[in-house]
Structures are given as C-alpha cells and as structure tokens.
Amino acid sequence: MKKGKGKSHRLSLGATLAFSAAVMSFLLAAAFIAAGAVWQTHSAARERAELGDTLAHELARTVTADELATGGTALKERLADIRDTAGARRVYICAPDREGNTVVADSETGTGEAGFDTELFDVDKLFDGEETGTGRSGARVICPAPIADSDPVLYAVAEFNIGGAQGSAMTWAATAAGIAAVLAVLLAGLYWLLVKKSVITPIKRISDAAADYSEGGNRQAFAKLRFAGSAELTGLANSFRMMLAEIEVNNMEQQELAVQEQKNAGDMALASGLNAAARPKELPADRDYPFRLGGRVNESGRALTGCFYDYFVAEGDRLCFTLGETSGEGLSQALFAVIGETTLKSHLRSGLPLEEAVTAANRQLYEMSGGSMYLSVVAGVLDGTTGRLKLVNAGQCVPLLMRFTEGRFDKTDALPQVPLGQNENVSFTVLELELHQGDRLFLHTEGIEDIEDLNGRPFREELRKRLNELKTRMADPVGQLSLISDAGGAYAGYTGDIKPYALMAVEYCRRDKMEAHCVVSADAAGGAEYIEFLRQQLRANGVPGKQTAETLVMADELMALCRVVAGENRLMAECAVREDLAVLRIRGRMGGTDPLSGHGALSGQADFVRRSCERVLFEHGEDGDTVTAVRKIGR
C-alpha cells in the first residue's frame, strides 16, 4: 500500500520516550564504567606508590655502610629478595648525577638501565639528600628515599609497574559493562512500562476522544476518562470537556448574536428611515426670513436613538421649533421620539398658544405610554415681526442666549420642567423674551454636555467657552453647530463613548432701522455685501442721496483697509443711526493692527477716512479688534 501524500514520518510519543529511556540508560552505564575504570587505575597507582615509598625508606634505613662499600653479590641478592617479595619491577641504590644517576647496586643484572630520571624530581633536593616524594614516568611509579650519612649522597629506590593495575581496571570495566548493560535493559524496560501506563495510554485515550469529537462525537466521552494516580491527566481531560462546553455555549451565543444583529439591522434601517423622514426640510431660499437657524443630530454610529430637532414657519413669519430626546435607546424609543415629535408639531400647527399646545401633547403622550416612556423637549415660538420669543422647557437642558450687544452666551431662565408623557396633570410655564437683531438662541441635549476627557471632566463648562469664542460667534448657525460638534469630538477621551445628542441654533435677523449689523467675508464679495447693507440702512433712516453716496465711499475705503489686516477672518459690520450721526463699526480679528496706520498708498486712504469722519477709534481686545467711525449725516 502506498503511503498517503504528505504523511508524517515522525516518531510517536511512545517510541520517542522509549528511545530516550534507552539512550539515557546506556549513557549512564557508560559514564559509570568510565568513572570506575579511572578510579581503579588511580587507586592501584596510589597503593603501589605507598608500598614503594615504604620499601625505599625501609631499605634506606637498614642498608649498612659496609654493604654499600663492598657491594657485590650479597647486596644484589638482598635487593632481588626485596623485589620479589614486594612484587616490584626493580629495587636499586644510586647516586644522583646532573647528567643521570649512577647505579651503585641493582636487583637486576645485565639490564644496562640507568637510575631514575632526575627530571621527575627537584634536583637541588636530590643533591642535598632530602625527601623528594614519589614520581611517575609513563607506566612506572618511582619511590626514592635518601640513605642517611652517605657520602656521596645515595638513594634507595623502588620502582613498580602500574600496567598490571590498568589491566585489572580494564577487566573490572569489562565485567562492569556487562552488568551495567543488563541493568540498563531492565531499567529501560521498567521505565517504558511505567511511562506507557501513566502517560502514553492516557494521552492516547484523550487524543482518541478529541478525534471522535472532531468527527461529530459527543463531548461526554471526556467525562468517562479517569486515570488512577494521575490527577494532572484527569484534570487535563476535565479541562478539555469544560473547554468544549464553553465552545458550544459560545457557538450558541454567536448564533443568537447573529440573529439579533439581523434584527437590529432591520430595526436600525427602519429607525433611520423614520428619523430621516422626520427631519425638517430647509427653509425656501427665495424667502427673506427674519431668522436663520441650523440643526444637527450626532448619533455616533448608533441609529436607534431618540434625539431630534424640528421647525416650521407658521402664518405671520412665526417660527415654531422643538428639540429633544427620549430616555434610553432602541427601536421603541426611536419610534416614540418620532411619535412625540409629530404629536407636538401637530398641536403647534393647530394655532394653540405654546403652553396649551405643550400641555395637550403631554396628555396625549401620557395616554399612549402610561408614563413608561417620556420626551424631554424644548419648544419655542419666535415672532419674526416683533422678535418676541416664547419658550417651554419640558425636562431638557437650559437653553443659552447671546445678546448681540453683549456678545456672550448665558443661560436663560427656561428651567427644566416635567418631561412630556411622564405625568398626566402638568401645567407648563412659558418664558417670554424679546430678541433684537443678532441675538442667538442655542439649544442642546445632554449628550454633548456628558462628553468626558481622559480625566473624566465633562464638556459642560467647556461648551460655553467654545460658544463664546469669536470664531464661533461670528459663524452662521450651521457653521456654529459644526464647530461645537467638532470641539466636543476633539475634547472626548474616547470618541466611542460619545452619546447621541441634538443641537439647534436660532438667530433673529430682522433689522432695526436705528441699529443693524451683518457678517461678511474679508474679500471683494464681502466688501460689496457690506456696501449694499449700509445703503439699505441709510435709506431706511432717510439719509439724503448725497450724504448716502459720500458715506458709502468713506465706508468702502474703511472696509478695504480692514480687509488688508483681517486676512481670511470674517468681519462683523454694524450701523447705528442717531439723530444726525452715523456710527459705523467693523469687528474682527485684525492681529491687533490698526488698519488706519498704513504707509504708502494705504496712508492716503487712511487720511481720506479720517477727513470724512468726526472721529475714528481703534480698539484691541482679547476677543478681537474694533474700528469705530463716526460721521455726520443730514436727514
């Protein structure tokens, strides 16, 4: 049978462990034998050195001067007897010489061997007749001992071979090797049986159970795995079983989540469609309304929210507007927001006074929800002719108002009352304000106030600071909301935590013939718009044609000078007429530079403006710069 393509040829876990056990056993046996052989050799060499040292000293102590003087056969025989009795290689007496050793008497005859090698010992000690210890040369152990009172200095020497000891060590090593091999085989087999029972077999059972589960089997097979004496492997099997249970639970949760996501996708599509349908359409561009406004809903990617804004123009240039949200998120809340917005709008269109319209909407929403859901909303009506504004705050954030003459947003007295639909019997109070040209109303829900930075500080106080910046105040309502929304996003520590919110800005634009303003760009188009604005104001105040023409020429030169230092910044132009004086002001960021302080060609224009006016004043402040020109007119 051919092997499958890509089949692994790696050893199994059992074979790997068996091979490892065999190698480990034989390595341990070899190390034991080698260490034993070395120990045997050193032990034998030490024994012969001790014996040789004893023989040499005994001979040095007992040899007499006569024996040394006469030498001969008797001394040789004595030395031979000592050699044979001790099993030494050689026993002899010699005199040390720097070029060698002169043998005086030797147990051997006819060998021709010289004495021991002086390089093995301290030569100075040899010639002084001192103890030099044992020396070793190759397979020989040499043990010299000085003979007392000998002249010249003589040494008794005993030599032993250690080759026999090495042979004994090798014989011992061979015997030990055989015994160790048998023990290694027995140890490896015992180790294999133990590992197979306690490791290989349990792991194979766990592997088989896992393979069975991967092919569609039941995870309960892991519950039957019990291994006596192996709590770790039993725990491993239990861990596998718990892991598989968690996987099954997670799969079920993923299936439920997928179903819920499909449902949410439908809900979000429905809610998005309802929200888009409920958004107000822009006011017709062919009508010159006495107000400007903008609205914005930031949903942060979540469409199932109840934030909204709405407005419409009723008869007599009456602007009706609402802004609010429902509590919580979801399809029900989004639908309730649309229903509540439509209900309130219907009552406002009926012509009822604001307080009665809000009361009627509250009662209808309460009957619908029973107080389980409610609508936090600000509703207002602005009379475009008179500038009179009426506000009702039903549980929403306090609106902010900027008077054009003061140039700063502050809170109104429209304090929050009970939200619509929360309580049936509620009487709402109305706040009445009188707006003038340039006054602005800013409405918002809690979501933008609750934005937090990395330190957990809310955007609530920062919101008013950003509104009061010159750049924000001079932008149109739509641009103002965009700047505030961008500021909130930049302030947030984590943009994903921003809650949905709605914003709305309303500016009253009806001009008063005594005092009016306009905001223009610092370019040629802005200059033309400013001249047309000024022409209408002077005509409305009955200024004669000649005075009007002269004033427009001076104003055009003044605007041209201001445009030079303003760069790309927008400029706010004002015109106030008092008796026989026209006061013209141009505000904006001019870098603290007086536009009438120019040189060269600009100096001629500046002189012309000064000659044409009673007074010209430049003021520099933190919020911007102001040029004021006062000119006499006749009416």
Taking all residues of the chain, what is their mean pLDDT, rounded to a whole number? 82
The confidence score (pLDDT) of residue 46 equals 82
**Is the residue at 421 inside a domain?**
yes
Report the side by side order of strands in the sheet with 100-106.
100-106, 90-97, 155-161, 140-146, 135-137
| Same domain membership, residue 294 and residue 256 | no
ω before 152 within 30° of 0 (cis)? yes
The confidence score (pLDDT) of residue 484 equals 95
Cβ atoms of 249 and 257 closer than 8 Å: no
Measured at the alpha carbon of residue 408, what is the angle toward residues 403 and 411, in degrees to the nearest 5? Answer: 80
**Is the residue at 182 inside a domain?**
no
pLDDT single digits (tens) 595-613: 998 777 788 899 999 999 9
Antiparallel, parallel or unpaired: β 375-383 and 388-394: antiparallel
| Same domain membership, residue 31 and residue 123 | yes
CATH number assigned to the domain comprising residue 472: 3.60.40.10
**Is the residue at 2 inside a domain?**
no
Question: Is it the case that residue 540 has pLDDT exceeding 70?
Answer: yes
Cβ atoms of 575 and 533 closer than 8 Å: yes
Average pLDDT score over residue span 424-432: 91
Backbone angles phi, psi at 374, to 5 degrees: -145, 170
Quote the tokens at residue 517.
């303003």
The confidence score (pLDDT) of residue 32 equals 72
* Crossing angle of the two packed helices 231-278 and 201-214, in degrees rounded to 10: 30
The confidence score (pLDDT) of residue 488 equals 93
| Same domain membership, residue 604 and residue 491 | no
| Same domain membership, residue 274 and residue 420 | no
**Is the residue at 63 inside a domain?**
yes
d(CA 183, CA 189) in angstroms, rounded, equals: 10
**Is the residue at 188 inside a domain?**
no
The confidence score (pLDDT) of residue 2 equals 46
CATH number assigned to the domain comprising residue 82: 3.30.450
Task: Give the Å distances, CA to CA, from 515 to 359, 424, 536.
Answer: 38, 46, 12
| Same domain membership, residue 525 and residue 471 | no
Lowest mean pLDDT among 111-125, 222-236, 315-329, 416-430: 222-236
The confidence score (pLDDT) of residue 626 equals 94
CATH number assigned to the domain comprising residue 531: 3.30.565.10
**Is the residue at 172 inside a domain?**
no
Cβ atoms of 321 and 506 closer than 8 Å: yes
Quote the tokens at residue 138.
């190759």
The confidence score (pLDDT) of residue 606 equals 92
d(CA 400, CA 434) in angstroms, rounded, equals: 14
d(CA 431, CA 154) in angstroms, rounded, equals: 137
| Same domain membership, residue 400 and residue 486 | yes
Question: Is it the case that residue 397 has pLDDT exceeding 90?
Answer: yes
Quote the tokens at residue 437.
């040209």
Cβ atoms of 584 and 628 closer than 8 Å: yes
| Same domain membership, residue 530 and residue 455 | no
Displacement of CA 184 from its chain's centroid (Å): 57
Question: Is it the case that residue 364 has pLDDT exceeding 50?
Answer: yes
Using the 3D structure, point to which of 146, 167, 188 is the last residue of a domain.
Answer: 167
Cβ atoms of 388 and 293 closer than 8 Å: no
Lowest mean pLDDT among 20-29, 149-158, 500-509: 20-29
Antiparallel, parallel or unpaired: β 400-403 and 501-508: unpaired
| Same domain membership, residue 254 and residue 301 | no
Could you report how far apart the first and last alpha carbons of the chain are, in Å? 118
The proportion of the chain whose per-residue pLDDT surpasses 90, expressed as a percent, equals 35
The confidence score (pLDDT) of residue 3 equals 45
Side chain identity at 238, as an amino acid letter?
Answer: N
Quote the tokens at residue 599.
């040189």
| Same domain membership, residue 536 and residue 566 | yes
Segments forming the whole domain that contains residue 28: 14-167
Helix (H, G, I), strand (E, B) or coil at 122: coil
Cβ atoms of 461 and 453 closer than 8 Å: no
- Looking at residue 586, the DSSP 8-state letter turns out to be E
Side chain identity at 510, as an amino acid letter?
Answer: R
pLDDT single digits (tens) 203-221: 777 677 666 666 666 555 6
The confidence score (pLDDT) of residue 34 equals 72
pLDDT single digits (tens) 139-196: 788 889 888 878 788 888 888 887 655 555 566 666 766 777 777 777 777 777 777 7
Task: Give the Å distances, CA to CA, from 104 to 69, 75, 85.
Answer: 9, 10, 21
The confidence score (pLDDT) of residue 130 equals 83
Antiparallel, parallel or unpaired: β 308-314 and 501-508: unpaired
Higher per-residue pLDDT: 248 or 289 = 289
Question: Is it the case that residue 13 has pLDDT exceeding 70?
Answer: no
Count up the domains in the chain and report the number: 4
d(CA 444, CA 422) in angstroms, rounded, equals: 21
Task: Give the Å distances, CA to CA, from 48 to 26, 161, 236, 337.
Answer: 33, 8, 62, 112
Using the 3D structure, point to which of 167, 182, 203 is the last residue of a domain.
Answer: 167
Lowest mean pLDDT among 539-543, 556-560, 583-587, 614-618: 539-543
Quote the tokens at residue 233.
């492997």
Higher per-residue pLDDT: 521 or 167 = 521
| Same domain membership, residue 124 and residue 37 | yes
Instruction: Give the residue among 67, 468, 475 at the shortest CA–CA distance from 292.
Output: 475
The confidence score (pLDDT) of residue 550 equals 93
d(CA 382, CA 485) in angstroms, rounded, equals: 25
- Concatenated DSSP letters of 85-107: HHT-SEEEEEEEETTEEEEEEES
Instruction: Give the residue among 165, 77, 153, 58 at the shortest CA–CA distance from 115.
Output: 153
Question: Is it the case that residue 301 has pLDDT exceeding 60?
Answer: no
Using the 3D structure, point to which of 167, 187, 205 is the last residue of a domain.
Answer: 167
- Helix H or strand E segment including 86: helix 72-86
pLDDT category at 548 given cuts 50, 70, 90 is very high
pLDDT category at 4 given cuts 50, 70, 90 is very low
- Concatenated DSSP letters of 275-331: HHHHSPPPPPTTS--SEEEEEEEE-TT--S---EEEEEEETTTEEEEEEEEESS-SH
The confidence score (pLDDT) of residue 395 equals 93
d(CA 313, CA 309) in angstroms, rounded, equals: 14
Report the side by side order of strands in the sheet with 431-434.
308-314, 318-326, 375-383, 388-394, 431-434
Task: Give the Å distances, CA to CA, from 415 to 254, 307, 363, 507, 514.
Answer: 47, 20, 21, 21, 33
**Is the residue at 183 inside a domain?**
no
pLDDT category at 7 given cuts 50, 70, 90 is very low
Task: Give the Å distances, CA to CA, from 283 to 342, 482, 558.
Answer: 19, 19, 35
Side chain identity at 212, as an amino acid letter?
Answer: D
| Same domain membership, residue 386 and residue 353 | yes
The confidence score (pLDDT) of residue 418 equals 94
Question: Is it the case that residue 246 has pLDDT exceeding 90?
Answer: no
Lowest mean pLDDT among 23-32, 193-202, 265-274, 445-454: 265-274
Lowest mean pLDDT among 239-248, 288-297, 543-552: 239-248
pLDDT single digits (tens) 51-79: 888 888 888 888 887 777 777 778 888 88
| Same domain membership, residue 500 and residue 378 | yes
**Is the residue at 176 inside a domain?**
no
Cβ atoms of 499 and 450 closer than 8 Å: yes
Higher per-residue pLDDT: 272 or 101 = 101
Q: Would you call 136 exposed, middle or buried from its count of C-beta atoms within 10 A (0-12, 13-18, 19+)?
A: middle
The confidence score (pLDDT) of residue 232 equals 62
Question: Is it the case that residue 273 has pLDDT exceeding 80?
Answer: no
Instruction: Give the residue among 355, 323, 352, 320 at the shortest CA–CA distance from 340.
Output: 323
Quote the tokens at residue 587.
């505000």
Average pLDDT score over residue span 543-571: 92
Backbone angles phi, psi at 580, to 5 degrees: -105, 25
pLDDT single digits (tens) 447-475: 999 999 998 899 998 999 999 998 898 89
